[in-house]
Structure formats: C-alpha cells, structure tokens
C-alpha cells in the first residue's frame, strides 16, 4: 500500500474534525512551564497524557501500593530534574526532520525509557508511553504504538538494511529505533509528494489509511 497524497489529505481533514482540538489541549498541558511543576501538576499531566492516548503505563508499573498512577507520579517528582532535562532537550528539536534530528530523538527516547524502568515491572519496556509523553512536549518526536510500528508502517515499507540512515546511539531502544527508521521513509516520501506534512499528521495518517484498508474507517 504506497503512500497516497489523496488519502493523506482526507486523513488530515478527519484529524482536524475529530482530534485536533484534543491535541491542542494536550500540547498546552505539556508545554514548558516557568519554574518547577508542583506535585499536583505533575500528576495531572501524567493522567491527562497517559490516559488520553491509552499508553498502557498503568499496567507496566510495579504492582505495589499506592496505585500505579500515584506511584508513577511520585517517581516523576523524585526524578524531576532528570525528566525535565530530557523534555527540554527533546523540545529543542524541530521539524522538518533530518536524519541527525532523528538520531537525537532516538537517544533521548532511549534514555527516558531506561529511566522509567526504575518504576516499571522488570519485564516491561514503556516505549509507547515514553514516546507519547515526550511528543506532547516535543511535537517533532514520532509517536510509537504497536499499531503503527507492527502493522501500519510495515505494510508500507518492507524492511531494508539501507533504512538505517544513522548509527544507533548506545542508549537507543532498538524497537523504537527500527520504527523511526521506517517512519523516516514515510516522512520523506510524504514531503516529496504533498504539502502540510508533520509528524502528528503522518501518525494520524497511519491509523486512517490502515483503517480504510481493513474496512474500518
């Protein structure tokens, strides 16, 4: 299923009708604040982002008291400086994407995943939550979920070794990196064929286009 500019335009219209206002709220919630966040603000941000996009983070947090979201909020408060540093670093990266930008994104995401493993179950890797939390602070960062990474993008781009356009940083999460390499193919093709291309609009296109293929949209 090759990239379709016509389907992309329809997906953009659909996004603007049904999801754009939701995302505008999330971007406002996540935007940088002047001064440290209070614990209540950290908790609100985690709840709004974590649940709006079904990140699954609650199922991945260690099963102890207090509740998973409370434990996650406490973890964020205890690691505030490290998390704020990663968010600030990510927010400096802008579109249009380049291979160099993507390498930096993969490194930041990998460091965030490693940090979050201090609060998740030993057999869990919170790559989806990490990408979604970072994306709403840094919109150039591609959103990872199993639907896009395991179904949508592979249907567009069968894996080829030359997709690896940069050497993986040591801290990279390899599943996210492989997703980013495929996303880069989509981003380049879309940019060459149509206008108004962005990471978020392409993320929505993947959902919309595969839904059409499966008769679901």
Of 113-117, 120-124, 131-135, 176-180, the least confident: 120-124
pTM: 0.92
* Residue 215 pLDDT > 80: no
Q: Which of 34, 81, 55 is nearest to 133 (CA)?
A: 55
Share the mean pLDDT of the chain: 90
Q: Which of 206, 194, 88, 85 is nearest to 142 (CA)?
A: 206
Query: Given pLDDT bands bounded at 50, 70 and 90, which one contains residue 90?
Result: very high
**Confidence (pLDDT) at 212:** 57
What confidence tens digit (pLDDT) does each residue in 36-83 have?
A: 677 888 888 888 888 888 788 888 987 666 788 889 999 999 999 999
User: 173 vs 45, which has greater pLDDT?
Assistant: 173
Query: Given pLDDT bands bounded at 50, 70 and 90, which one contains residue 153?
Result: very high
Share of the chain above pLDDT 90, in %: 68
What confidence tens digit (pLDDT) does each residue in 121-140 have?
A: 999 999 999 999 999 999 99
User: 209 vs 193, which has greater pLDDT?
Assistant: 193
**Confidence (pLDDT) at 55:** 80
Q: How many domains does the chain have?
A: 1
User: 113 vs 36, which has greater pLDDT?
Assistant: 113
**Confidence (pLDDT) at 64:** 66
**Confidence (pLDDT) at 1:** 57
The H or E element containing residue 75 is: helix 68-78
Give every CB contact of residue 81 below 8 A, 6+ residues apart in sequence: none
**Confidence (pLDDT) at 216:** 41
Q: Which of 126, 46, 137, 24 is nearest to 85 (CA)?
A: 137
* Residue 217 pLDDT > 60: no
CA 172-94-110 angle, 5° bins: 15
Give every CB contact of residue 9 below 8 A, 6+ residues apart in sequence: 194
Domain with 102 in it: 5-213
Peptide bond preceding 66 in cis form (omega within 30 of 0): yes
């Amino acid at each position: 299923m090759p990239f379709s500019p016509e389907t992309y335009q329809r997906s953009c219209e659909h996004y603007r009708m049904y999801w754009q206002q939701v995302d505008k709220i999330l971007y406002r919630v996540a935007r940088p604040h002047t001064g440290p966040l209070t614990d209540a603000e950290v908790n609100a941000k985690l709840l709004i982002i974590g649940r709006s996009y079904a990140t699954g983070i609650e199922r991945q947090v260690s099963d102890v008291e207090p509740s998973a979201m409370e434990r996650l909020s406490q973890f964020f408060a205890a690691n505030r400086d490290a998390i704020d540093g990663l968010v600030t670093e990510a927010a400096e990266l802008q579109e249009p994407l380049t291979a160099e930008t993507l390498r930096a994104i993969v490194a930041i995401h990998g460091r965030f995943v490693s940090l979050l493993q201090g609060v998740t179950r030993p057999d869990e890797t919170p790559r989806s939550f990490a990408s979604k939390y970072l994306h709403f602070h840094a919109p150039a960062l591609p959103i990872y979920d199993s639907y896009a990474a395991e179904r949508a993008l592979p249907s567009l781009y069968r894996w080829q070794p030359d997709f690896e356009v940069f050497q993986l940083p040591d801290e990279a999460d390899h599943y996210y990196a492989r997703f980013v390499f495929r996303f880069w193919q989509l981003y380049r093709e879309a940019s060459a064929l149509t206008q108004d291309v962005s990471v978020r609009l392409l993320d929505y296109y993947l959902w919309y286009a595969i839904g059409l293929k499966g008769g679901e949209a």
